[in-house]
């Protein structure tokens, strides 16, 4: 294969802190180490389809290191292998328009494409690799649940937001003798609620991996009240569910790779607990849904460094012609795996996953939380 001279990149899915650190590292490594030309497609796969791009040089990435989000913008609704369109009769149809994107890459003489994203974005990366595009993937999720890598950028910054929010809730919970519930992200994996809850001194942590009993949660509140701690802090993952029950669904978005949108478990908990708690202790229960605050803001030290490692290694992979693979960290060292090992080898155009990296209910972290009195509603 010929040596690369010009590369492109895009960011897809949801935003998170550290993306600009990755972009910065890619551009600087590509230009300073390998003398590559670089362009960035704007708005994820939509920009690749519409040929909306920007030339990336050292000036383009000046001053972005600390910024959350991505200067290239992004979208999680543009699967080019199953692209939503309207036909002549006005009917919504889905078509494979990937060849248009490939033609754009060829028009710009792109030798390799770096794709930064989660399950849906990387599934399309796999599919483009199957069609002969030299693809390198970089995993992106604040949930920290990618199975092949030890940690993803954006996770630690999100943890900082959770910890700071719990610190703030403590003061008002104590002042009013209230039960405070903080709902955080974490669709299938409870890392954010678990580590954020530990760092923020939560008394109860509810995660998808450990189904809860509402009466057990209430008992923890009673026990604290009876020993003089008349406030309780609960940190709950959006994917938490009761024993024998299911997750709380906020909405259905058929155009999104993750069509089922979770949310509202905090409000559900509050309604259930209020019926049990308030008649006995008189305590009010308040809910805060941290929402997209977890994804934004200034990128912390850890994620700036981690994003730099991911981005620079992706460029090295291009130089070494390691295509159809995704950057990972294993045993604290940079490495790569086949993208199919992460998202599965399913049918082209269909989002799939090799299985999330979830919390071990009997692992050291959960056991340490239990040792210091945190309960999981079992």
pLDDT of 353 reads 47
Report which of 137, 112, 153 is spatially closest to residue 318, judged by C-alpha positions.
112
Count CB atoms within 10 A of the CB of residue 21: 27
CB–CB of 152/172 below 8 Å?
A: no
Cα distances from 40 to residues 44, 180, 220, 301, 320, in angstroms, run 9, 43, 51, 25, 21
* Number of residues assigned to the chain: 378
The CATH architecture that domain 159-295+360-371 belongs to is 3-Layer(aba) Sandwich (3.40)
pLDDT of 102 reads 98
* 210 — pLDDT class (breaks 50, 70, 90): very high
Cα–Cα distance for residue pair 87/265, rounded to 1 Å: 39
pLDDT of 346 reads 73
List the structure tokens of 371. Answer: 């040792």
Cα–Cα distance for residue pair 238/269, rounded to 1 Å: 11
The structure's pTM equals 0.93
CA-based max dimension of the chain: 74
Question: Phi and psi (nearest 5°) for 250?
Answer: -90, -45
Question: Phi and psi (nearest 5°) for 224?
Answer: -65, -40
Question: pLDDT digit string (tens) for 37-72?
Answer: 999 999 999 999 999 999 999 999 999 999 999 999
Domains 6-153+299-343 and 159-295+360-371 alike in fold: yes
User: Which of the 8 DSSP states describes residue 2?
Assistant: P
Number of H helices, E strands in the chain: 11, 15
Question: Phi and psi (nearest 5°) for 233?
Answer: -110, 125
Cα–Cα distance for residue pair 352/343, rounded to 1 Å: 5
Residue with tokens 């045993």: 331
Share the mean pLDDT of the chain.
94
* 356 — pLDDT class (breaks 50, 70, 90): confident
**Range in 111-115, 117-121, 125-129, 216-220 with the lowest mean pLDDT:** 117-121
Top-tier CATH class for 6-153+299-343? alpha beta
Give the alpha-carbon dihedral of 320, 134, 140, 319, to 10 degrees.
20
Cα–Cα distance for residue pair 287/269, rounded to 1 Å: 9
Bridge partners (DSSP) of residue 115 are 10, 137
Question: Please, which residues have CB within 8 angstroms of residue 184's CB and are 6 or more apart in sequence?
Answer: 162, 192, 193, 196, 235, 236, 237, 238, 290, 294
Question: pLDDT digit string (tens) for 247-287?
Answer: 988 877 776 666 777 889 999 999 999 999 999 999 999 99
- Please list the active-site residues: 143
State yes or no: pLDDT of 348 exceeds 80: no
Cα–Cα distance for residue pair 343/362, rounded to 1 Å: 26
Domain ranges of the chain: 6-153+299-343, 159-295+360-371
Region 360-368 average pLDDT: 97
């Amino acid at each position: 294969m010929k040596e690369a001279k010009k590369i492109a990149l895009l960011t897809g899915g949801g935003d998170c802190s550290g993306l600009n650190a990755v972009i910065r590292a890619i551009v600087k490594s590509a230009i300073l180490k390998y003398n590559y030309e670089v362009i960035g497609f704007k708005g994820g796969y939509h920009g690749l389809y519409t040929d909306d791009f920007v030339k990336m040089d050292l000036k383009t990435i000046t001053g972005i290191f600390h910024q959350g989000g991505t200067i290239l913008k992004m979208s999680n609704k543009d699967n080019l292998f199953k692209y939503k369109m309207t036909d002549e009769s006005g009917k919504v149809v889905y078509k494979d328009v990937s060849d248009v994107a490939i033609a754009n890459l060829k028009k710009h003489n792109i030798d390799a494409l770096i794709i930064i994203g989660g399950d849906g974005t990387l599934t399309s990366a796999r599919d483009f690799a199957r069609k002969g595009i030299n693809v390198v993937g970089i995993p992106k999720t604040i949930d920290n649940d990618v199975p092949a890598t030890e940690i993803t950028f954006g996770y630690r910054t999100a943890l900082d937001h959770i910890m700071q929010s719990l610190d703030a809730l403590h003061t008002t919970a104590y002042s009013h003798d209230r039960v405070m519930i903080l709902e955080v992200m974490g669709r299938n994996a409870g890392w954010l609620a678990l580590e954020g809850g530990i760092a923020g001194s939560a008394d109860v942590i509810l995660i998808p991996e450990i189904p809860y009993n509402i009466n057990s949660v209430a008992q923890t509140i009673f026990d604290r009240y009876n020993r003089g701690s008349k406030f309780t802090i609960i940190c709950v993952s959006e994917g938490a569910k009761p024993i024998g029950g299911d997750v709380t669904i906020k909405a259905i978005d058929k155009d999104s790779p993750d069509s089922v949108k979770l949310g509202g478990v905090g409000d559900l908990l509050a309604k259930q607990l209020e019926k049990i708690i308030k008649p006995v202790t008189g305590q009010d229960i308040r809910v805060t849904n941290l929402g997209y605050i977890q994804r934004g803001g200034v990128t912390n030290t850890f994620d700036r460094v981690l994003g730099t490692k991911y981005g620079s290694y992706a460029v090295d992979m291009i130089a070494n012609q390691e295509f159809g693979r995704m950057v990972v960290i294993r045993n604290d060292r940079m490495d790569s795996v086949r993208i199919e090992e992460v998202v599965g080898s399913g049918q082209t155009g269909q989002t799939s996953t090799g299985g999330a990296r979830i919390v071990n209910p009997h692992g050291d972290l959960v056991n340490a939380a239990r040792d210091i009195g945190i309960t999981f509603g079992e």
